[in-house]
Amino acid sequence: MFFRMLPWEYAIRNLFRRPLRTSLTFAGLTTVVVLVFVVVGFIRGLERSIDISGDPQTALLMSMGMGSNLEYSSIPMRTSDLVPASVRGIKQRFGQNYVSPELYLGTEVGVDGTEPSMGLIRGVTRPALLVRRQVEIEEGDWPELGEVMIGRMVAAKLGASPDDMRIGESLTFEDREWRISGVFSACGSAFESEAWCRLDELQQAMKRQDLSLVAVTLKPGAKFSELTMFCGERLDLELQTLRETDYYETLQDDYRPIRWLAWLVVSLVSGAGVFAGLNTMYGSVVGRIPELSTLRTIGFVRRAILISLIQEGVLLSAAASLMATALALVFINGAAVRFTMGAFSLRIDSVAVLIGCGVGLMLGFIGAIPPAIRALRMPVVDGLKAF
């Protein structure tokens, strides 16, 4: 059965008839959607930072039973020489094996003008640039004696000003002062939260002669089982091996409760926005009861009026979603966030935009229905008396 609809322009004109109420509702909806963007950007940034950190051709050798706790791993220094001599399929270039012995630790790092905070330090050698293919030196040089090269997110991780982390400035850790020699990027991976220095110097500063891990890059088509066999045969080394991608998948599992908590926050913020929208729409619809009763008197059915009210809510929420998206892309996207694993950038990608705008449209749609139904249930005579 067909029924006569109210003109589309009617809903648009109604939004401008009450500019103050419309502005306040628009601001409230925009604020809710921006909050949704912040939380979703946090989730997407965390997931991307972990996802792109692993290389499917790279494997890690560490202490047996360490799981994902590289800081507590300790393996003999000679492991970096034994692996290429015993395992076939390790990638080479001009006679240089893609093998990176590394010492990895979390320790207090001091920066001028700030309180020392927990930072991530990695002692490396030159082959680390071969194994960690995503790492690129953006400014400065490779660290020499007494120097350290920092990732572009280290300042955010330490809560320091970028001006205090320029080339030539100093960091303090392990009771030594280290000059910053360069800055590197790593495509947004977890390495960007680390500071790299020479392996031998870090061993000397920590009075250690062991390693935390050995990272190796395999040739395309090489069998990962060769490394597994090596670890099984050399029981004296007490080694375990896993692909780098599997290691970061383990970190994803560790952070799953945090992601669920973040999605819960999205739900709570959205729910709060729905109730705020309901409150605003109730006030708007209650003040228009005589108008709605008049529309019913001249022949418009309840469904037509309900659809018109929903149009108003969706139009307003769509505009608020667009404004929130613009604000998120300008002010939220790329913002640095400190985290236990380091630091990463909030990411407003297509998925985040879809979720944020979807929540905004949902707020406008759901928020308009209950007050409209309540007003339309009132008898026409009683509604007209409200003039």
Domain range list for the chain: 8-51+255-385, 76-237
Q: Would you list the DSSP string of 38-87?
A: HHHHHHHHHHHHHHTT--TTEEEEEETT-TT-GGG--B-TTHHHHHHHH-
Q: Is pLDDT at 370 greater than 70 in this prediction? A: yes
239 Cβ contact partners less than 8 Å away, ≥ 6 residues apart: 61, 62, 63, 64, 75, 79, 230, 231
For residue 358, CA distances in Å to 27, 60, 115, 269, 361 come to 17, 41, 42, 13, 5
Q: For residue 1, what pLDDT is reported?
A: 45
Report the percent of the chain where pLDDT is more than 70.
Answer: 92
Q: Would you list the DSSP string of 187-224?
A: TT-GGGGEEEEEHHHHHHHHT---BSEEEEEBPTT--T
Please give the Cα distance from 341 to 190 (Å, whole number). 8
Please give the Cα distance from 305 to 35 (Å, whole number). 32
Q: Which of 231, 219, 217, 236 is nearest to 86 (CA)?
A: 231
pLDDT higher at 275 or 110: 110
Residue 265, phi then psi, degrees to nearest 5? -60, -40
Q: For residue 382, what pLDDT is reported?
A: 66
Q: Is pLDDT at 384 greater than 90 in this prediction? A: no
Q: For residue 77, what pLDDT is reported?
A: 92
Q: Which of 204, 207, 232, 227 is nearest to 217 (CA)?
A: 227
- Tell me the per-residue pLDDT of 219-261, one tens digit each, with 9 for 90 and over: 988 888 889 898 888 888 889 999 988 888 887 777 788 778 8
Q: Which of 279, 307, 285, 305 is nearest to 375 (CA)?
A: 285
CB neighbourhood size of 129 (10 A): 16
Rounded to a whole number of angstroms, the CA Rg of the chain reads 30
Q: For residue 200, what pLDDT is reported?
A: 94
Whether 296 contacts 380, CB under 8 Å: yes
Highest mean pLDDT among 23-37, 111-125, 205-219, 235-249 belongs to 205-219
Q: For residue 188, what pLDDT is reported?
A: 86
Q: Would you list the DSSP string of 106-127?
A: EEEEEETTS--EEEEEEEE-TT
For residue 35, CA distances in Å to 26, 256, 359, 366 come to 14, 21, 11, 19
337 Cβ contact partners less than 8 Å away, ≥ 6 residues apart: 42, 45, 156, 343, 344, 345, 346
Kindly report which listed range (57-61, 175-179, 368-372) carries the lowest average pLDDT score.
368-372
Q: How far is CA 387 from the centre of its chain?
A: 53
- Tell me the per-residue pLDDT of 297-345, one tens digit each, with 9 for 90 and over: 887 777 887 888 888 888 888 999 999 999 999 999 988 888 766 788 8
Highest mean pLDDT among 112-121, 269-278, 280-289 belongs to 112-121
Secondary element (H or E) of residue 265: helix 256-286
- Reduce the DSSP state of residue 312 to 3 states and report it: helix
Q: For residue 222, what pLDDT is reported?
A: 86
Highest mean pLDDT among 141-155, 268-282, 326-340 belongs to 141-155
Please give the Cα distance from 60 to 218 (Å, whole number). 11
Q: For residue 3, what pLDDT is reported?
A: 61
How high is the mean pLDDT of the chain? 85
Q: Is 238 left (phi over 0), alpha (psi -120 to 50) or beta?
A: left
DSSP assignment letter at 166: S
Q: For residue 278, what pLDDT is reported?
A: 65
* Average pLDDT, integer, range 24-48: 87
